Each structure stands twice: as C-alpha cells, then as structure tokens.
C-alpha cells in the first residue's frame, strides 16, 4: 500500500514539474514575443503553448491592450499628419497676403506708378490685411476655445431675433452672391438657454461659411423646440467629407482662398458644446444641412 502511495506521489510530482516547466517555458516565450513586438513594432499577436486558463486569459488581455495601443498610435499618426498639414496650410495662407501686401507697398514706395495706381494698390493692401486679420482672429478664437478661456454667461436668448439681426448684416454679401434666401422663424420667437455673444459668433460663422462655400440656395429654419437648421447648396459634393466637417484644419479642395483656415466650423462645434448643445451635419445630394440643438427655456431654469 505504501509503495502504491509513493508511486502516486511520484507521478503527481513528475506531472507537476512537467506542468511548471511548460508553464515557465510558455511565459518565457511570451516575454520573447513581447520583446520582439517592442523592437520590431510588428502586428504579431501573443499565443500560448499551454492550455492553462490563466495564462491564456493573460495573453488575451495583453493582446487587447496592444490592439488598443496600435489603434491609438494610428489615430495619433493621423492627427499628427493633419496637424502638420494644417500648420503648413495656415502658414501659406498667412504668408500669401503678407507677401502680396509687401509687394504693393514696394511699388508705391518706388514712386514709379501713378497716383491712381497707388490708390488702387492701397485698396488691395487693405483687402489683404483684412484677410490676414480674419486669419489671425480665427487662430486666436480657436486657441481660446481649446484652452477653455471662453467664459459662458448663460441667459435666455431669442434665437430668432439674433438670426434676423445677423442676416441683416449679411444682406449685401448674400445678395451679391446670388443667394436665394429662405427664412422660417416662428413669429413669437424661440427662447433658448445660451451665451448670447457666443451664439452670435456661431451664427455669424455659419452664415460666413455659406457665403464662402455655398451657391445660390440658402435656408434658415428654427423650430419651437429649439432646433436650428442652416442649409445650403454646395459645389463639388464628391470632395466634401461631411463626417470630418467639424475637424480642426479640415478643408475640402473646393474654393480655397485667403480666409480659409479650416477652423471656422471647429470653433462653431466647440462653442455649441460649451453651451451644452449638440451639432451635426448632413449632406443629401447637393444640400448641406448643419443642425444645432440647444436647450429651450421651458426645459431648464436659469439658476441651473
């Protein structure tokens, strides 16, 4: 009987040693695989030679962590490329009006052109400097936004009155641009909880965006429950990626000009979100619709 027990214990010990050896060997293999993945930056996945549930679970979790890191790295690389391209575009857009204005200044200073031409060139310089100021203002606004320096003063705002005022300011550009403007605003007005100054900036940016990139058709609609819609027809629809419309530095290839940084709609999105609202874009055929949802006065108190 003792002999049988000893044999059984010996078998158990041998089996345990073999199991431990295979387990340690598997752990060493996982370690070597991790070192290889770290050094070569490959997409290799960790596998196990044992059927131990804990080791298999560990390898599976490590694979998930590596998958997440790879996804983050890919996203960081994409954002980095877009950021560098955005900086390149902005640098170009800043340099262009400066170079142009500097050239006209040199011509005027040379004294070789007529007074009439000097006046014409001064107008060009003035336009170039206005373009440069617009670019710098957008950059400043965006930096203020991402640094959280925009203090919100929430109050009841009549969005219909605000839109009517902004449309009046843009009457000449919309008319000369050949836009057929349709306005659908409730006569009684719509009270929303927002920062009036920042909401005015949002509306101003959206109308400016329509004038820059839209053609002939422009519609503004406000519903009683606080839904704001800006719709306009766009050119070269195939070049517009509506899913990226609110990304910083995103610009379609259409109608590139001096005042385009790709920050306008990113600023709009940031301001709306800071006012606890939502914004989205939709493109159907040639009609781009930007939809904003803010909280109506009836659903929130100013004390909140």
pLDDT (tens digit, 9 = 90+) per residue, 27-41? 788 888 777 877 777
pLDDT at 16 over 60: yes
User: Final residue of a domain: which of 146, 170, 186?
Assistant: 146
Residues 111 and 240 in one domain: no
Q: Which helix (H) or strand (E) holds 302?
A: none
Task: Assess if residue 12 is contained within a domain.
Answer: no
Residues whose CB is less than 8 angstroms from the CB of residue 62 and which lie 6 or more positions away in sequence, other chains included: 30, 34, 46
Task: Assess if residue 231 is contained within a domain.
Answer: yes
Task: Assess if residue 61 is contained within a domain.
Answer: no
Task: Assess if residue 254 is contained within a domain.
Answer: yes
Structure tokens that stand for 290 in this block: 């930007």
pLDDT score of 300? 44
Domain extent, residue 105, equals 90-146
pLDDT (tens digit, 9 = 90+) per residue, 126-141? 888 887 877 777 777 7
pLDDT at 162 over 60: yes
Task: Assess if residue 134 is contained within a domain.
Answer: yes
Structure tokens that stand for 153 in this block: 């003063």
Alpha carbon distances (Å) from 113 to 82, 109, 227: 43, 9, 56
Task: Assess if residue 273 is contained within a domain.
Answer: yes
Q: How many folded domains does the chain comprise? A: 2
User: Final residue of a domain: which of 146, 162, 182?
Assistant: 146
Dihedral, CA of residue 20, residue 26, residue 31 and residue 33, to nearest 10: 170
Q: What is the CATH number of the domain that holds 262?
A: 3.30.565.10
What mean pLDDT is reported for the chain? 81
- b (16+ CB within 10 A) / e for 227-244: ebbbbbbbeebeebebee
Task: Assess if residue 59 is contained within a domain.
Answer: no
Find the angle CA(68)-CA(147)-CA(132) to the nearest 5 degrees. 110
Q: What's the start-to-end Cα distance of the chain, in Å? A: 82
Percent of the chain exceeding pLDDT 90 equals: 20
pLDDT (tens digit, 9 = 90+) per residue, 210-249? 888 888 889 999 998 889 999 998 877 777 777 788 877 6
pLDDT at 259 over 70: no
pLDDT score of 278? 93
Residues 216 and 293 in one domain: yes
């Amino acid at each position: 009987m003792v002999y049988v027990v000893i044999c059984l214990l010996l078998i158990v010990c041998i089996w345990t040693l073999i199991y431990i050896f295979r387990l340690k060997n598997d752990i060493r293999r996982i370690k070597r695989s991790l070192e290889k993945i770290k050094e070569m930056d490959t997409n290799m996945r960790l596998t196990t030679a044992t059927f131990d549930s804990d080791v298999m679970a560990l390898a599976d979790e490590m694979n998930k962590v590596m998958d997440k890191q790879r996804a983050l790295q890919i996203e960081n690389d994409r954002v980095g490329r877009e950021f560098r391209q955005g900086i390149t575009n902005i640098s170009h857009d800043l340099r262009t009006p400066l170079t142009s204005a500097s050239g006209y200044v040199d011509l005027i200073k040379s004294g070789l052109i007529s007074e009439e031409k000097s006046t014409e060139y001064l107008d060009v310089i003035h336009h170039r400097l206005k373009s440069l100021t617009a670019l710098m203002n957008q950059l400043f606004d965006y930096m203020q936004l991402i640094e959280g320096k925009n203090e919100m003063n929430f109050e009841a705002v009549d969005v219909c009155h605000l839109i009517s005022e902004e449309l009046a300011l843009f009457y000449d550009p919309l008319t000369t641009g050949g836009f057929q403007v349709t306005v659908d605003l409730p006569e009684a007005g719509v009270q929303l909880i927002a920062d009036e100054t920042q909401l005015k900036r949002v509306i101003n940016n959206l109308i400016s965006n329509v004038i820059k990139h839209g053609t002939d058709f422009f519609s503004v609609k406000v519903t009683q429950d606080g839904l704001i819609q800006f719709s306009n027809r766009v050119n070269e629809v195939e070049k517009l990626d509506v899913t990226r419309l609110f990304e910083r530095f995103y610009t379609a290839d259409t109608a590139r000009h001096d005042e385009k940084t790709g920050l306008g709609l990113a600023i709009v999105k940031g301001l709306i979100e800071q006012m606890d609202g939502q914004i989205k874009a939709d493109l159907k055929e040639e009609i781009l619709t930007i939809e904003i949802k803010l909280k109506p006065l009836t659903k929130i108190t100013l004390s909140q």
